[in-house]
Chain A
Amino acid sequence: MGYVVTEKCIKCKYQDCIAVCPVNCFYHGEVMLVINPDECIDCGACEPVCTAQAIVFGDTNDGEAWLDLNLKYSNVWPNITRKGETPTDADSYNKLEGKYQKYFSASPGKSVR
């Protein structure tokens, strides 16, 4: 249940979502963020603020494909509660197709503090 992050986040990581999440349910990897579907309270605050439009409702065709990824990595990657540095080349990756095949990394993100 709840919202999930899709591959549109990969290599963009704008992180505007984190600023509005009331329950801090985002977890970050090297190249993307994921949402913990069990912690997400469905408030919907994150979905409209993502520049890459990477967040969708989990209960949709689009969402279901990414549910497992979000579930798995939100239990492995560190929690992120404040916005870090957006990669300087984020805009050049925005709207690119097939980013999961090309760029996905299972490595956890670095600490933001």
Chain B
Amino acid sequence: MSNNSSPLQVAVIGAGPSGFYTANAIMEIVPNCCVDIIEALPTPYGLIRSGVAPDHQNTKAVSRIFERTAQDPRFGFYGNVIFGQDVSLKELHNHYDAIVLATGATLDRALAIPGSEISGVFGSAAFVGWYNGHPDFKDLNPDLSTTTVVIIGNGNVAIDVARVLIKTPQEMLNSDLAGHAAKIIHHSLIKDIYIIGRRGPLEAKFSNKELVEIGKLTNGVPVVDSAQIPAKVYGEMSDLDRHIREKNLQTLREFSSFSSTDKNKRVHFLFNSRPIKVLGNGHVKGVSLERTQVENINASGTGEIFEIPCGIVISAIGYQMPPLNEVPMNVSGDLVANFEGYVSKGLYVVGWAKRGPKGVIGTNKADAEVVADHISKQITVGFLAGRDGLEALLNKNKVKWVSFSDWQKINAREVSLAPAGAPRQKITKISDMLAIIK
């Protein structure tokens, strides 16, 4: 609801997919509006840039549609502005009729076992952020002079990490693997990677597309013990769920027929094993695990303990959101308290902060549409200053924000620095990015 002259002012916090889909949905239903995305990093796109694997450039191409959204004259981008630090929720309410939190779930779920604090144990948000050139993790400097890596988790992130660690420089030629990571990865001594699942193949969350890729590596072969693969998919479920699992079982069966000496390096899938302790003094030297059995989707220990010596442990067991200032959390403390995206008067939430770290990129579209609909029906124009107010505030606090055209200059520089075959060379220091747009 807006009148002819004064637009509805909306601020979206977070420039990942949920933020962009939301900006787009609002501009579609509210003709007279201004939508500003406020983003902590100078660069937009969230996990598209820092989460999607560097050799999955096709998936990253979704940013093309976000670029289109950004061309709308009603759209604004304020990068390098940290919500809760450079601008508060209260200050935003002074200038915007509605605020939408699209802040995601940027932290690793903690690997809550003894020894998880030993040097050489990494969460996947940090490790993937490191090889994807995220400024916060550029100095991670993992020591990959080990022959064995243990990855804990049975989702696509676990597979991504294994694949990026094993692919050859040739295979990564068309990727945007961060330079500092390429140096370390391509000189690593890694020969064996273990992907550990505390439950069985039927409970694994790998998508078949990703699983299949592990069977097509130049220098690596998947290793699966056929005894770990159920003969068929059992249990009550829809035809579709059954079909998805059958495809994974089929792929794992094929993998179990490969010889582990086929290639130089091996990716071992170890199911029904849960990590109970990280071993080592000063640095990781192994993981102690317990074999499990699955009863009614839950894993229970069998008492059979075994060890895998290794020099690096990476946990890929999901994400969680950091606490946000002035924003109410739900009872279990893992999501922003909300009802269908409504938090409180003039405040909404979309994406992983709303429904948890699950789904695929497109899953965020539905959140965006629901909230855009709420806003169009619940919010009236308050004749607030919108981005004029925001900019005055940022100037007062001497915050150097990055506009979308500034980002395009940074983008152009990354593209121009690209090694042959690669789409870009990521710039990983924020000060370097800001120097480009001075």
> Which positions in A face B, CB cutoff 8 Å?
19-24, 41-45, 47-51, 53, 81-82
Inter-subunit contact A48/B244 (CB<8 Å): yes
- A44 to nearest B CB, angstroms? 4
Inter-subunit contact A41/B61 (CB<8 Å): yes
- B204 to nearest A CB, angstroms? 14
Inter-subunit contact B58/A41 (CB<8 Å): yes
Kindly state whether residue B240 has any CB partner on chain A within 8 Å. Answer: yes
CB-contact partner of A48 in B58, B62, B207, B239, under 8 A: B207
| A-B interface, 5 closest residue pairs, ranked by CB to CB distance from nearest | A22-B361, A20-B362, A42-B58, A44-B209, A22-B362
Cα A24 to Cα B209 in complex, Å, equals: 20
| Cβ contacts B285-313/A at 8 Å (1 or 0 each) | 00000000000000000000000000000
A contact residues around B363 at 8 Å (CB)? 19-20
B contact residues around A51 at 8 Å (CB)? 239-240
Inter-subunit contact A44/B62 (CB<8 Å): no
Number of interface residues of B (CB under 8 A): 23
Inter-subunit contact B240/A43 (CB<8 Å): no
Kindly state whether residue B366 has any CB partner on chain A within 8 Å. Answer: yes
Cα A44 to Cα B56 in complex, Å, equals: 11
CB-contact partner of A19 in B239, B240, B362, under 8 A: B362
Residue among A24, A44, A47 with most chain B CB within 10 A: A44
Beyond A19-B362, A22-B360, whether A43 also contacts B243 by CB under 8 A is: no
Inter-subunit contact A22/B58 (CB<8 Å): no
- A33 to nearest B CB, angstroms? 15
CB-contact partner of B360 in A41, A45, A81, under 8 A: A45
A-B contact pairs, 27 of them (CB 8 A): A19-B362, A19-B363, A19-B365, A20-B359, A20-B360, A20-B362, A20-B363, A22-B62, A22-B65, A23-B62, A24-B65, A41-B58, A42-B59, A43-B59, A43-B62, A43-B360, A44-B207, A44-B209, A45-B360, A45-B362, A47-B209, A48-B209, A48-B247, A49-B240, A50-B240, A51-B240, A81-B365
B contact residues around A81 at 8 Å (CB)? 365
Beyond A19-B362, A22-B17, whether A48 also contacts B59 by CB under 8 A is: no
Chain A residue nearest in CB terms to B239: A51
Q: Which of B244-264 contact A (CB under 8 A)?
A: 244, 247
Beyond A44-B207, A48-B244, A51-B240, whether A21 also contacts B362 by CB under 8 A is: yes
- B52 to nearest A CB, angstroms? 9
| Cβ contacts B348-360/A at 8 Å (1 or 0 each) | 0000000000011
B contact residues around A24 at 8 Å (CB)? 65
B contact residues around A43 at 8 Å (CB)? 58-59, 62, 360-361
Kindly state whether residue B208 has any CB partner on chain A within 8 Å. Answer: yes
B contact residues around A49 at 8 Å (CB)? 240
Inter-subunit contact B243/A82 (CB<8 Å): no
Kindly state whether residue B176 has any CB partner on chain A within 8 Å. Answer: no
- B351 to nearest A CB, angstroms? 13
Kindly state whether residue B39 has any CB partner on chain A within 8 Å. Answer: no
A contact residues around B208 at 8 Å (CB)? 48
Chain B residue nearest in CB terms to A57: B209
Cα A44 to Cα B359 in complex, Å, equals: 13
- A49 to nearest B CB, angstroms? 7
A contact residues around B244 at 8 Å (CB)? 48
A contact residues around B243 at 8 Å (CB)? 53
Kindly state whether residue B406 has any CB partner on chain A within 8 Å. Answer: no
CB-contact partner of A45 in B64, B247, B361, B366, under 8 A: B361
Inter-subunit contact B59/A19 (CB<8 Å): no
Cα A45 to Cα B361 in complex, Å, equals: 8
Cα A53 to Cα B239 in complex, Å, equals: 10
A contact residues around B192 at 8 Å (CB)? none
Chain A residue nearest in CB terms to B240: A51
Cα A21 to Cα B59 in complex, Å, equals: 11
- A99 to nearest B CB, angstroms? 18
Cα A48 to Cα B360 in complex, Å, equals: 12
- A87 to nearest B CB, angstroms? 18
Beyond A19-B362, A19-B363, A20-B363, whether A41 also contacts B207 by CB under 8 A is: no
Chain A residue nearest in CB terms to B58: A42
A contact residues around B65 at 8 Å (CB)? 22-24
Cα A44 to Cα B361 in complex, Å, equals: 11
Residue among A22, A44, A50, A82 with most chain B CB within 10 A: A22
A contact residues around B360 at 8 Å (CB)? 20, 22, 43, 45
